[in-house]
Structure 1
Amino acid sequence: MLRLDTDLLRSRAAAIGDGTHAEIARRAGIDRSVVTRLFSGTVPSLFNLTAIAWAYGIALDDLVPNAETKAEVPA
Structure 2
Amino acid sequence: MLRLDTDLVKNKAHGQGDVTHEDIAIRAGIDRSSVTRFFAGTVPTLPTVTALAWAYGIKLDDLVLKAATTVPPQVTA
Q: Any unmatched runs of 5+ in structure 1? A: 70-75
Output one character per residue of 1:4-63: Cα deviation in whole Å (capped at 9) or x when no partner.
Answer: 211101100000100011100100000000000010110111100100100000000111
TM-score (norm 1): 0.85
1:12-23 paired onto structure 2 within 5 Å: 12-23=12-23
Q: Any unmatched runs of 5+ in structure 2? A: 70-77
In structure 2, the partner of 1:27 is 27
TM-score (norm 2): 0.83
1:1-75 paired onto structure 2 within 5 Å: 1-68=1-68
Higher alpha-carbon Rg: 2
C-alpha deviation, 1:3, in angstroms: 2.1
Note the aligned Cα RMSD (angstroms).
1.3
**Residue identity (%):** 67
Maintained 8 Å contact 1:3/1:42: no
C-alpha deviation, 1:65, in angstroms: 1.9
Alignment: residue pair count: 69
Output the CA distance in 1 between the equivalents of 2:22 and 2:49: 16
Output the CA distance in 1 between the equivalents of 2:68 and 2:56: 24
Runs of 4 or more off by more than 3 Å in structure 1? none
